[in-house]
Amino acid sequence: MDREKSIVPNQIGYLILKEDGAVLESGGDLKNDERSANVIMGLLNLTESIDESFMPNSSCERITIDYEQHYYNICMSNRRIYIVKISKSQNGVTTTTSSSSSNSVYNDASDSGAVLA
């Protein structure tokens, strides 16, 4: 992975997508990972289709997909979609993550049936 792209502590992979899902850049565990890009685009399209009467102002700022050993942070900026895969372990010690109320969090601690891993 390019050292200049690894600005997030414990980052183990990244994808940068255009709004249509085309991969612009990638590295680490997500290098050339078009399958993950397609899964994430499906997830983002799903969040945009949430009924406004169910969740007013449902446009989310960031989505976190949380697994036992790692998690994905997904956000949009400047008409680009940024996906970062981050390891939870630091020198063999697993760390915990927290989220603010503006984030959508999916937690699958079992990793069974995981789409992204």
Does the pTM exceed 0.85?
no
Quote the pLDDT of residue 102. Answer: 42
Percent of the chain with pLDDT over 70: 64
1 vs 51, higher pLDDT: 51
* Torsion 110-46-85-66 (CA) sign: negative
Mean pLDDT along residues 46-58:
70
pLDDT at 59 over 70: no
**In this predicted model, what pLDDT tens digit does every residue of 71-116 receive, in sequence order?**
999 998 888 999 999 999 865 555 554 444 444 444 444 443 344 5
- What is the set of domains in the chain, with CATH numbers? 11-87 (3.30.450.30)
CA dist., res. 92 & res. 69, Å (int): 11
DSSP state of 8: S
For residue 109, give the amino acid letter: A
Q: Which structure tokens are listed for 16? A: 């940068």
Q: Is the C-alpha dihedral spanning 117, 18, 48, 57 positive or negative?
A: positive
